[in-house]
Every structure is written in structure tokens, then in C-alpha cells.
Amino acid sequence: MNTSISQSTPKSVRLYDLVLDNGCTISPFVWRIKYAIAHKGFAVESMPVGFTGIQKILDGKYERLPIIDDGGTIVPDSWGIADYLDRTYPDRPPLFATKNERVMARFFDAWLWREIFPPMFRCYVLDNYNFAKPEDRDYIRESRERLFLGGKSMEVTVAGREQRMPAIRQSLQPLRNALSETPWLGGEKPNYSDYCGLSAFLWAASINTHPPLEKTDPLFDWINRGFDLYDGVCRDHRLRPLAA
């Protein structure tokens, strides 16, 4: 009975996935798209690629991941993919239920990339290098030091990071406030804002050798529920603790 087989096998979306040497996803843009695909009720078919492997896939046309292949339709860029999924599958749960939800997810993500990612990046860039595939390391050192660290070495950048952790934890206060009266940023259910926020912690969990949070951080309620979402689509036994 083909019918029962096709009913029990959910449609899957192929996802080109940026991974470390141990196979764990690293990119916060990929993590959020894993959630987005699962949010729509689809299975994620992961195609793991290293940093320098991107030029070897899809005729070398793209420089960044994620990219999805949805039955032959190639869609790059995490925001482009989120919009594609809502546009193409309007009968499935929306990532953005209203235009305001999309605008505020953009604002929230801009806040993450201004206030949270840069100081964390300056703590974890060397961990990223050390956990990357051997063939990716030269590229990571050269590109990070030139583009993001103003020519400073990764080693100099991360030195003294322990002393910077309290300021990072403090900068997360607006997120704690927002989550103090709601289970999800999306309200009763998660939406794309949750996936943007969770992707920051999945990125940190994929590489950190000095955890950013304290065990008692109230954010863990949301983080743990978030990592468990959709049968643990983003759970990975290679993720490292976020608190000591």
C-alpha cells in the first residue's frame, strides 16, 4: 500500500549544512533553518559541508550556507529561506503570523548581531578554528583575523575571555525580561524569533570550551525547551555545556 507509506514518511527538505570536523552543525543561520523546516512539519535531509567545501557544491555558485533544495528549487540565505517556506506553504504553521512578527524578528536578530554575537565571537573564534575540519582552518584563521578582528590574531582576541563573560551575561537581560512572562518569544508557540535566539546558543554550544552562562540562568528554561523542539531536531550529542 503506497498510500500508507507516503503518509508515514514526511516530506523532507534538503539542507546544505555547515559543519565542524566532528560533524556537528556550527552556523547559527543553519541552526535556525533546521527549526524552520521542522516548524513546517517537514524532515531535514542534512547535506554536511565544511567551510571550504561550499565552493564545491551547486556548481560553486554560492559563498554561504544555508541553502535548501526543495524538490529541485534551490533557495539560499536564511531570511530568503524563511520567506520562501511561508510563501510556498501557506497551509502550514507560519514562521511569521503577521507582518509585525517578521519586522520584530528582524529587529530582534539585529539586536543579537549587535549586542550578543560580537562579544561571544571574540570569546569563541579560536574554539571555532580548533573544532573546524583541518582543511578549513587556514581559511578560518585568515578570513576571521582579516575581516572581523582588524588583523589581530585569534589567540590575542580570546585572551582574558573569562573576565568578559559577566558582561555578556548582563547583555542578555532584555531577552530574560521578554521570556519572564511568556513560554516563547512567539507567544504560546515558538516562531522564527525563537529560532534566531536559540541559534545563538546552539552556535555557542557547538564550539565553546568555556561556557557563557551560569547554571542558575533563567534562560535555561527556554533554551532546554528550545533544544528539545520537534523531536530534538537540533539536539546533538556533540553539543557542549552552556554552563559549567
Q: Minimal distance in Å, beta carbon 228 to a second copy?
A: 20
Q: Does 181 bind a second copy (CB under 8 A)?
A: yes
Q: Does 32 bind a second copy (CB under 8 A)?
A: no
CA distances from 37 to 14, 44, 193, 234 (A): 10, 7, 14, 11
Q: Does 174 bind a second copy (CB under 8 A)?
A: yes
Place of cell 546533538: 236
Contacts of 181 (CB under 8 A, 6+ apart): none
Q: Which residues in the 185-214 window bind a second copy by CB under 8 A? A: 185-188, 191, 193
What is the distance between the alpha carbons of residues 82 and 188, in angstroms, rounded to a whole number? Answer: 20
Residue closer to a second copy (CB basis): 189 or 210: 189
Q: Which residues in the 114-173 window bind a second copy by CB under 8 A? A: 114, 173
# residues near a second copy by CB under 8 A: 29
Contacts of 118 (CB under 8 A, 6+ apart): none
What is the distance between the alpha carbons of residues 45 and 64, in angstroms, rounded to a whole number? Answer: 18
Q: Minimal distance in Å, beta carbon 121 to a second copy?
A: 18
| Binder among 33, 175, 219, 234 for a second copy (CB under 8 A) | 175
Q: Identify which range of 22-30, 33-41, 140-148, 175-183 contacts a second copy by CB under 8 A.
A: 175-183
Q: Is the dihedral of CA 82, 34, 203, 199 positive or negative?
A: positive
Q: Which residues in the 100-119 window bind a second copy by CB under 8 A? A: 100-108, 110-111, 114
What is the distance between the alpha carbons of residues 192 and 194, in angstroms, rounded to a whole number? Answer: 5
Contacts of 48 (CB under 8 A, 6+ apart): 17, 19, 23
* Strand 12-18 to 43-49 pairing: parallel
| Binder among 6, 22, 143, 182 for a second copy (CB under 8 A) | 182
Cis-peptide into 90, omega within 30 deg: no
Q: Identify which range of 80-88, 151-159, 176-184, 210-218 contacts a second copy by CB under 8 A.
A: 176-184
Q: Minimal distance in Å, beta carbon 184 to a second copy?
A: 8
Which stretches of the chain bind a second copy, using CB under 8 A?
97-108, 110-111, 114, 173-175, 177-178, 181-182, 184-188, 191, 193
